Amino acid sequence: MKHTTPKFPALLHGGDYNPGQWLDRPDILEQDIVLMKEAGCNVMSLGIFDWIRLEPQEGRYDFDWLEAIIDRLYANGIYTVLATPSGARPSWMAQKYPEVLRVGNDGERILFSGRHNHCLSSPVYRKKVHDINTALAKRFGAHPAVILWHISNEYGGECHCELCQENFRKWLKKKYKTLDALNRAYWSAFWSHTYTDWSQLHSSSEHGEHSIHNLVLDWKRFTTDMTVDFMKAEAAPIREICPDIPVTTNMMELYSGLNYYKFKDICDVLSWDNYPLWHSEGENSVPIHTAMAHDMIRSIHPGKPWLMMESSPSATNWQPVCKLRRPGMHMLASLQAVAHGSDSVQYFQWRKGRGGSEKFHGAVVDHYGKSDTRVFREVSAVGSRLKNLSPSLCGTEYPAKAAILYDVENRWAIEQMQGLHNGNQGYMEELEAFYAPFFHRGVNVDLVDMESDLSGYELLIAPMLYMFRAGIGEKLRRFVKEGGTLVMSCFSGIVDENDLCYLGGMPGEGMMEVLGLRSEETDALYPQDRNTALITHSLPGMKPSYEIHSLCDLIHLSTAKPLAEYGKDFYAGLPALTANTFGKGKAYYVACRMESAFYEDFLGALFQELSLLPPVSLPEKVTVNTRINSDTGAAYYIFQNFNSFPILLDLPEGWTDTETNTPVSQLSIEGYGVRVVSPSQC
């Protein structure tokens, strides 16, 4: 097993702590320690937005107050996740070096404001960050309390200043070498957009070039690379001075501004900030959506434990409706993350500030300031459960035999495409439709991108894999040939990595042979239009027909066998679902988008065939995830009940409740409850 924080290998419980806002209130800082212990906290994240306190004047560092806090926490059994302060710069810096501030896509420099408002290229900003990070690493790198570096905060956004334009041009020159190659990759004869000099190249934006699709993609790829490079530069002194302390950066939910998979090598540990819209109108889909987001982040390092760096113990003040978490939901939401492989439950924020835009954001400690509150009690309950579960679960892995291909570049390409359903191509909805059966049946699944290693999986789902890149055609061919089961859906294999359409038939890169078919046209349906898939060859558990919406590929079969056909329209009778045997494996093609029951039944049949199902059948809105101790082989099944009412499950013989270490045959789970059980003695 590999722990996320080897220095303190335990499930972490704590949150973002901002003592820098309370330095004139020593009584409150003292009280914090008492309350943290009462809430069962063992970690705090410090220094995230404290640059002005750490360097009140250029070159004059003041770390004494921070050291006093870290020492006091440590003396009370609370470890520190130490942040670099680059998420927000001090006003003296913006005033003296305006170039550290970002330039918007209209060419205007943004004034000193907000946070994350920094240029990724600015040598001054990079130098200032390097210097303060070096000083922090020197001062705290050997401190026994510091278990993890939290690099910056939620990297995101882009800068269009001249320095960034220059860097973009350099990046393009390195990639394409010649303008000729670039023009070919951009299909730039279109609308006479051919570049005749490198200096003509400019970042893409609504205000500027956005009709050359591969330029738009390159700008996004560049922004990701620049951010990774920035993080690398930030982390460099830390890695040099304290190589044994792991680094992370906190990510955001399915955020598409960056390709997070490119952060794989720079993060020792992955972490993300989780703010679901609990109890919203779409409550049925919120647990599924959240589960998918957990799985996406973990899959950057497949199987490995990760950290939930932030979550709100109550209302989240930037959501459209800032609803309170209903009693019990905090426990469920916290342990859902653990079920998906998190080794922590951390909050934004420990204590509500008195002012600023986050003064109403949920916190463990309210303005009231004491522990006799509903939220505090719920947080404390999570603290004591984590403490009890820690010896069993901490460091355990998340084994998955199935994966869904979620590739951010594919998402970018789909979202900018003109055709089918402009404004909303429904890609993320389709992804979620394929994901939902994994949630409902309790099957562990990874979300991998096209650069990931696919060899360990038995089932691979490729929803709308419109763009093929990173040799995915060849990888999929090998995967199926060697015995894997592939499910690919409509409008896949249309463009290559330059967003240029394949010639000679789709899906491209040899997939016509693997799937045994060719797709000729794709019909986009109006929102109210429906077609029907009539099942002609049923897999176990499938219904006679399913409703179709949104998209229908018109396909012609070579070696594939039809499993369903369209019920109406001019393409009635053409195949809507097919299967092809290729090598030792099987490749299915779902030629259209269907009602959710189809995905449940079809994937349910494949789960059964491939023996992926857990040994317990699950009622509605109840799921289970499995974690495994790779040293001992012990498995832990973490059942989650997203209903507000209790349920009862029959377990196979000989299972044990991990928390009480007592045998259990019938498992009762209260409304919004979680139970952890193991097939073997713990």
Residue positions annotated with a catalytic role: 154, 310
Q: How far is the CB of 154 from ligand GLA (least distance, A)?
A: 5
Q: Which of 50, 55, 154, 601 binds ligand GLA (CB under 6 A)?
A: 154
Q: Where are the beta strands (DSSP E) in 90-203?
A: 146-150
Give the per-residue SS3 of 185-252: HHCCCHHHCCCCCHHHCCCCCCCCCCCCHHHHHHHHHHHHHHHHHHHHHHHHHHHHHCCCCCEECEEE
Binding partner of 316, given Zn ion, ligand GLA, none, CB within 5-8 angstroms per partner class: ligand GLA
- Between residues 159 and 433, which has the closer beta carbon with respect to Zn ion? 159
Binding partner of 428, given ligand GLA, Zn ion, none, CB within 5-8 angstroms per partner class: none
With H, G, I as helix, E, B as strand and everything else as coil, classify residue 145. Answer: coil
> Measured between alpha carbons, how far is 635 from 537 in angstroms, rounded to an integer?
37
Counting contacts by CB under 5 A, is residue 159 touching Zn ion? Answer: yes
Counting contacts by CB under 6 A, is residue 350 touching ligand GLA? Answer: no
> Measured between alpha carbons, how far is 196 from 208 in angstroms, rounded to an integer?
18
The answer to whether the peptide bond before residue 287 is cis (omega within 30 degrees of 0) is no
Helices (H), 496-628: 511-515, 596-609
Please state the separation of Cα 561 from the chain's center in Å.
36
With H, G, I as helix, E, B as strand and everything else as coil, classify residue 151. Answer: coil
**Residue 433, H or E segment:** helix 427-441
Q: What distance separates the 2 farthest-apart alpha carbons in the chain?
A: 77
Q: How far is the CB of 312 from ligand GLA (least distance, A)?
A: 6
Stretch that binds ligand GLA, among 124-132, 310-318, 597-605, 666-674 (CB under 6 A): 310-318
**Residue 669, H or E segment:** strand 662-669
Stretch that binds Zn ion, among 114-122, 301-309, 409-417, 575-583 (CB under 5 A): 114-122
Site mask for ligand GLA (CB under 6 A), range 257-276, x = bound: ----------------x-x-
Stretch that binds Zn ion, among 120-128, 169-177, 532-540, 666-674 (CB under 5 A): 120-128
> Measured between alpha carbons, how far is 428 from 637 in angstroms, rounded to an integer?
28
- Between residues 66 and 159, which has the closer beta carbon with respect to Zn ion? 159
Residue 55's nearest CA partner among 114, 142, 133, 153 is 133
With H, G, I as helix, E, B as strand and everything else as coil, classify residue 618. Answer: coil
Binding partner of 594, given ligand GLA, Zn ion, none, CB within 5-8 angstroms per partner class: none
- Between residues 272 and 672, which has the closer beta carbon with respect to ligand GLA? 272
- Between residues 8 and 275, which has the closer beta carbon with respect to ligand GLA? 275
With H, G, I as helix, E, B as strand and everything else as coil, classify residue 522. Answer: strand
Counting contacts by CB under 5 A, is residue 167 touching Zn ion? Answer: no
- Between residues 121 and 274, which has the closer beta carbon with respect to Zn ion? 121
- Between residues 165 and 644, which has the closer beta carbon with respect to Zn ion? 165
Q: How far is the CB of 54 from Zn ion (least distance, A)?
A: 24
Binding partner of 638, given Zn ion, ligand GLA, none, CB within 5-8 angstroms per partner class: none
- Between residues 186 and 222, which has the closer beta carbon with respect to Zn ion? 222
Binding partner of 624, given ligand GLA, Zn ion, none, CB within 5-8 angstroms per partner class: none
Binding partner of 658, given ligand GLA, Zn ion, none, CB within 5-8 angstroms per partner class: none
Which letter does DSSP use for residue 559 in this model? S
Cα angle value 227/473/462 (rounded, 5°): 75
Counting contacts by CB under 6 A, is residue 348 touching ligand GLA? Answer: yes
Query: By the criterion CB under 6 A, which residues form the site for ligand GLA?
Result: 153-154, 273, 275, 310, 316, 318, 348, 358, 361
Query: By the criterion CB under 5 A, which residues form the site for Zn ion?
Result: 119, 121, 159, 161, 163-164
